[in-house]
Structure 1
Amino acid sequence: MNYAQLLLPDFSLILCGYLICRYTALNRSVWQPVESLVYYLLFPVLLFQSIVQSPADIGAASGLIGAGILAGAISIALAYSLPYWPWVGRRLDMRDHAASAQVAFRFNSFIGLALAERLAGPQGLLLIAVLIGVCVPLFNVAAVWPMARHGQHSFLRELLRNPLIIATASGLTANLLHLTIPAWAMPAVGRIGAASLALGLMAAGAGLQLSLLTRGKVLSVSVLLIRHLVQPLLAFALARLFRLDALQTTVLLAFCALPAASTCYVLAARMGYNGPYVAGLVTLSTLLGIASLPLALGVLR
């Protein structure tokens, strides 16, 4: 499988946003309202739709779900603990750490869905959809917590007012209650979802400042190592611990080797943190996916 070709559309949209913002009249004054539109409307609709359409057959995939949640929980703990590491902690900007910790564990679910379908057909697509539906709420809450804590905001208030949290919680509730989006609304909802993905990636490119990555080299390397090396190795170990079958192992390895979610940038920017730095991490993560996906699915599998 050509993983570079799979990741090319996302990277191309990030690059387009970067070039348009810097070399045309569509500068930052244009892209800041776009970020607000994506954050408050388009991404929440997309998350709600994705979760509602993912059948939550938790019983049939309990081992896979347990392994996925445990891999995510370990990665969250590692990302949170970086300031306490003896050599690493002294070299971290705490505000940048609060914004970028999410890069270590949040994933690009759309690449995951496309990858699972190519690897394992409809059954693989179903398994990763269940995994995404269960993990997205947990990972979104984990992404908000360090920023709310560092900014000395009420964590509960930040959760209750965060549109991504509201959308994922609402989608999971609707899924468990077996509610669906009406057929007549699906075309419009689908178009909103497609727009959110494209605009979110382009907004990340428009906010990109790669020079900021040199300022936080230790932090950048740390969160990206957790995302692209530690996570696949965790998946390899947990697949054996939970005695997953071949199909579930393949899905778990793919899930843990995905690039970081493009919403990392939007969330950091809208919560008042260093969005350009996080955008750079998302871009590097997309490129590193070309290495971590073959590692997980070629070597470890």
Structure 2
Amino acid sequence: MNFFQLLLPDFALILCGSLVCRYTALDRAVWEPVERLVYFFLFPVLLFHSIVRSPLELRATSSLMAAGLLLGVGGIAMAYALPHLPGLARRIDARAHASAAQVAFRFNSFIALALSERLAGARGLLFIAVLIGVCVPLFNVAAVWPMARHSRAGFARALLRNPLILATAAGLAANFAGLRVPPWLEPSLARVGGASIPLGLMVAGAGMRLAHLAQHKALGVGLLAIRHLLQPLLAAALALAFHLDASQAAVLLAFSALPTASSCYVLASRMGYDGAFVAGLVTVSTLLGLASLPFALGLLARIA
């Protein structure tokens, strides 16, 4: 499999967004409303539609769900433990860690959906929807908790206002209840959701910033090492342990090495933290995805 050709379309859109934002009149003032449109409307529609349109066969996907949850818990545990490692306690600021810990385990859903469909077709899209469905609530809780705890903000309120959690919960509830989208509404939902992927990738590019990375170097290196090195290794071990088939293993390994969510810095900023530093980490994570995704998918040949 040519990983460069597989990843090129998504990263070309990210680069396009960065260049358009940096070198044309379509600057951050234009992209910030687009980002809100994607985050609060387009992507929740895509997430809901991806989950509800195909019945979830719990028996067929139970191993994948378990592996995804364990992968998520492992990433969260490593991110939370970082300041407590020998030699790092004095070098990591508690407030900076609270806002940036999410970088180690959250993922760019736009790239996830686009890549999974190319990896395994319709089955890949179903598998990534399953992982999104079980992991997004966990990841959002884990992302909000340190910031809410550190700033004494309302934890439950922050979760209940998160559009990704609301869309995921609604999609899972509708799926398990046997509800389906009416045929006459299907094309509209597909078009709305489909618009979120190219726009979301360009938004990720427009949001890339490097200026604030000089702060908290030890924290940044540790979180990015978890996201792009330790998570793929853990995913390979879990794929072996749960005897996942080739398609499920490919989606899990790709899921483990994705760039972090572009909305990390949005969440940090809206909760009163240093969004610029988190945006720098998102930028580097996006670039590292060009190396970590081929690395993770290359592990597939070793465990097959």
TM-score > 0.5, shorter chain as reference: yes
1:214 partner SS: coil
Stretch deviating more after TM superposition (267-276 or 287-296): 267-276
- Asked if 2 retains the 8 angstrom alpha-carbon contact of 1:7 and 1:289, the reply is no
- Asked if 2 retains the 8 angstrom alpha-carbon contact of 1:207 and 1:275, the reply is no
Relative distance call for 1:270 and 1:249 in structure 2 (3 A) is same
Q: How many residues align?
A: 301
* Residues in 2 aligned to 1:29 and 1:117: alpha-carbon distance in whole angstroms: 32
- Asked if 2 retains the 8 angstrom alpha-carbon contact of 1:18 and 1:206, the reply is yes
Shift of 1:11: 3.0
Alignment of structure 1 residues 50-199 onto 2, 5 Å: 50-199=50-199
- Asked if 2 retains the 8 angstrom alpha-carbon contact of 1:208 and 1:277, the reply is no
Relative distance call for 1:151 and 1:180 in structure 2 (3 A) is farther
Q: Deviations over 1:73-93 (max 9, x none)?
A: 011111122222232232223
1:213 aligned partner = 213
Relative distance call for 1:36 and 1:289 in structure 2 (3 A) is closer
Relative distance call for 1:215 and 1:12 in structure 2 (3 A) is farther
Relative distance call for 1:141 and 1:175 in structure 2 (3 A) is farther
CA RMSD of aligned residues (A): 2.6
* Residues in 1 aligned to 2:230 and 2:266: alpha-carbon distance in whole angstroms: 25
Shift of 1:246: 4.3
1:226 aligned partner = 226
Q: 1:57 is matched by which residue type in structure 2?
A: E
Stretch deviating more after TM superposition (76-85 or 99-108): 99-108
Relative distance call for 1:81 and 1:115 in structure 2 (3 A) is same
Q: 2:136 is matched by which residue type in structure 1?
A: V
Q: 1:275 is matched by which residue type in structure 2?
A: G
1:31 aligned partner = 31
* Residues in 1 aligned to 2:213 and 2:96: alpha-carbon distance in whole angstroms: 11
Relative distance call for 1:275 and 1:186 in structure 2 (3 A) is farther
- Asked if 2 retains the 8 angstrom alpha-carbon contact of 1:253 and 1:296, the reply is yes
Relative distance call for 1:84 and 1:224 in structure 2 (3 A) is same
1:264 aligned partner = 264
Q: Percent identity?
A: 66
TM-score for both structures, normalised by structure 1: 0.86
- Asked if 2 retains the 8 angstrom alpha-carbon contact of 1:11 and 1:283, the reply is no
* Residues in 1 aligned to 2:32 and 2:110: alpha-carbon distance in whole angstroms: 24
Q: Deviations over 1:111-161 (max 9, x none)?
A: 334444444444444333323322222222222222222231111111112
2:152 partner SS: coil
Q: 1:99 is matched by which residue type in structure 2?
A: S
Q: 2:128 is matched by which residue type in structure 1?
A: I
Shift of 1:110: 4.2
Q: 1:210 is matched by which residue type in structure 2?
A: L
2:294 aligned partner = 294
- Structure 1, unpaired ranges of 5+: none
- Asked if 1 retains the 8 angstrom alpha-carbon contact of 2:254 and 2:297, the reply is yes
- Asked if 1 retains the 8 angstrom alpha-carbon contact of 2:110 and 2:196, the reply is no
* Residues in 2 aligned to 1:19 and 1:245: alpha-carbon distance in whole angstroms: 40
Shift of 1:54: 4.6
- Asked if 1 retains the 8 angstrom alpha-carbon contact of 2:136 and 2:164, the reply is no
* Residues in 2 aligned to 1:122 and 1:50: alpha-carbon distance in whole angstroms: 10
TM-score for both structures, normalised by structure 2: 0.86
* Residues in 2 aligned to 1:122 and 1:193: alpha-carbon distance in whole angstroms: 15
